[in-house]
Amino acid sequence: MSSEATNPSSSHAGTSAETQPRQAIWLRCEKKPFEHRSALTPTTAKVLLDNNFDVMVERDPQRIFDDAEFEA
């Protein structure tokens, strides 16, 4: 058995984009009246996308952020 296979700190171990499936995150549309909060900001969604997450955003006319901000 090679030492690389048993050593978790080897250069081949880890969570690279090639070895891990993309994690999905779904930002749902709010159904409560007068609820304008958002669990994600457009900036945070971009960071998640850049870090190998799939971010799906449901359209929501009452969310504090416009839908177009998440598309940028």
- Whole-number pLDDT of residue 3: 44
Angle at 22 between CA 46 and CA 56, to 5 degrees: 50
Return d(Cα 56, Cα 25) in angstroms, integer: 6
pTM assigned to the model: 0.66
Using CA atoms, how far apart are residues 27 and 17, in angstroms rounded to an integer? 22
Which tens digits make up the pLDDT trace of 34-54? 999 999 999 999 999 999 999
Spatial separation of the C-alpha atoms in residues 42 and 69, rounded to whole Å: 6
Smallest Cα–Cα separation from 15: which of 56, 52, 55?
52
